[in-house]
Structure 1
Amino acid sequence: MTALIPAPTRSVLLQRIQPAMTGLIDGSLSTLAPIFAVVLATHSPHYAFFAGLATALGAGVSMAFSEGLSDTGDLTGRGNPYVRGAITGAGTLLGGILHTLPFLIPHYQAALIVAVCVIAFELLALAWIRWRFFGTRFLSSVASITLAGVIIAGLSAALGGLAG
């Protein structure tokens, strides 16, 4: 950790950074399957965009309520459930919408290439956040998050291929 940025306190980790990380990971991974299944089945970036947008919005709301209702924060020290829920929901929406935006590009192959590049950036950013705030090894984080993404992408490609 750098001297310019002080290490966050345990309460900041539990109440702010961990809920944000949970949301970002969930949004980045859970939205891959519907987006890629739709684009591979239809070859339509337009439909993939709306599938991604709907999934990111739905997942954001779902994760906000899940986190907010998971505990009051009194026993665990995790802080205000509404704040944690809002942070997790916003992180989920952000994680899901970033690789959805390339599907505004009308050309199928160009949209896919840009989306894959955005996903690579997301995976590296998630690994960096885990390294920076949670002390995990960077390469281990990249491997873990990439493995999850590969499994999800493989499942969605298989479904998209079956439908298309």
Structure 2
Amino acid sequence: MKNFADLTEREILAVAISAEEEDSRIYMTFAEDLAERYPESAKIFEEMAEEEKGHRHMLLEMYEKRFGENLPPIRRENVKGFLRRRPVWLTKNLSLDTIRKEAETMEFEAERFYAKAAEQTQDVGVRRLLGDLAEAEKSHENVAARLTDLILSPDVREQEDKTRRRMFVLQYVQPGLAGLMDGSVSTLAPLFAAAFATHNNWQTFLVGLAASIGAGISMGFAEALSDDGSLTGRGSPWLRGLTCGLMTTLGGLGHTLPYLVPDSWANAFWIATAVAGIVVFFELWAIAYIRARYMDTPFMQAAFQIVLGGAIVLAVGILIGGA
């Protein structure tokens, strides 16, 4: 790799030309990714891509005027000092904030490059062009940083907020809620069956722990393998699977942990069972609240469905354990 200070004017222009071409393609990729979800923001990135093409054209004209048509094969990654980028543009369904932050970083880097390059060049025309491009990239940086507040109208921002909320629900709330429901409800029967069959807190805790972890693994893989997110826009399958699996495990552990009450205590079994019952009550009402808050389900309807279902499963476990 070459040090930036060792670049010739010819190499500086060549790096700038290839950088503008790459940035233009990245912005068009962002625009394509945002087109369906955030059409107004997509248009802004299309305009930024066209401006980058214009910058490349100006640089190429200057280069051909000074050095001819042949460009040396040097790019940003061949020069020390450039930021090491994560190729986030290869990922589909990126959040709007992630794309904006990436664009801001890109423009900051470009502005710094042109400012330093202008100081290093001797030709007056090249220096003027690089200085003008530094100012242009700085304005792009400001647009990327304040895109929401300066460019988007309140109506457009409201629509994009609705879309962002919908994506958040699809990618995080929905798999997390499914896991929490499964972990909180499905583990009730084996846990309380073991409790009333053995009246032994430690053995009941082991059954609940195994049921919770097993359910978490099962639900996590089921969610991750259900779809890859390419058509549904639900995001990374493994992130959804991890969210679902963790919430399933936590849902089961909530009413399992009370059975850590030592069996040596007086009335240890009934203490643990009473605490577990209280935990179950709050778990079911929390699920009902989340469904009402994010899934547009009337709260009383959600509460009735969840509490009734949980009560039935709990009763089944107690009846089987006590038989």
TM-score (norm 2): 0.47
Q: Could you tell me which residue of structure 1 aligns to residue 104 of structure 2?
A: none
Q: Could you tell me which residue of structure 2 aligns to residue 94 of structure 1?
A: 250
1:72 equivalenced with 2:233 (yes/no): no
1:157 equivalenced with 2:318 (yes/no): yes
The alignment of Structure 1 onto Structure 2 pairs a total of residues equal to 157
1:41-65 Cα deviation digits (max 9, x unpaired): 0111111111000000000011110
Cα deviation for residue 74 of structure 1 reads 1.1
Which of the residues 293, 301, 317 maps onto 1:140? Answer: 301
Equivalent positions of 1:1-40 (< 5 A) are: 9-40=165-196
For residue 109 of structure 1, what is the amino acid of its counterpart? W
* Structure 2 stretches lacking a partner, 5+ long: 1-160, 263-267
Structure showing greater radius of gyration is: 2
* Structure 1 stretches lacking a partner, 5+ long: 1-5
4+ residue runs of structure 1 moved beyond 3 angstroms? none
1:47-93 Cα deviation digits (max 9, x unpaired): 11110000000000111100001111112111111000000001101
Q: Could you tell me which residue of structure 2 aligns to residue 49 of structure 1?
A: 205
For residue 36 of structure 1, what is the amino acid of its counterpart? F
Q: Could you tell me which residue of structure 1 aligns to residue 239 of structure 2?
A: 83
Distance in 1 between residues matched to 2:220 and 2:296, nearest whole Å: 26
Moved more, 108-117 or 144-153: 144-153
Q: Could you tell me which residue of structure 1 aligns to residue 281 of structure 2?
A: 120
TM-score (norm 1): 0.92
1:1-39 Cα deviation digits (max 9, x unpaired): xxxxx8762111101110110010000001101100000
Distance in 2 between residues matched to 1:9 and 1:123, nearest whole Å: 24
Distance in 2 between residues matched to 1:9 and 1:153, nearest whole Å: 34
Aligned-pair Cα RMSD in Å: 1.2
Q: How many percent identity over aligned positions?
A: 47
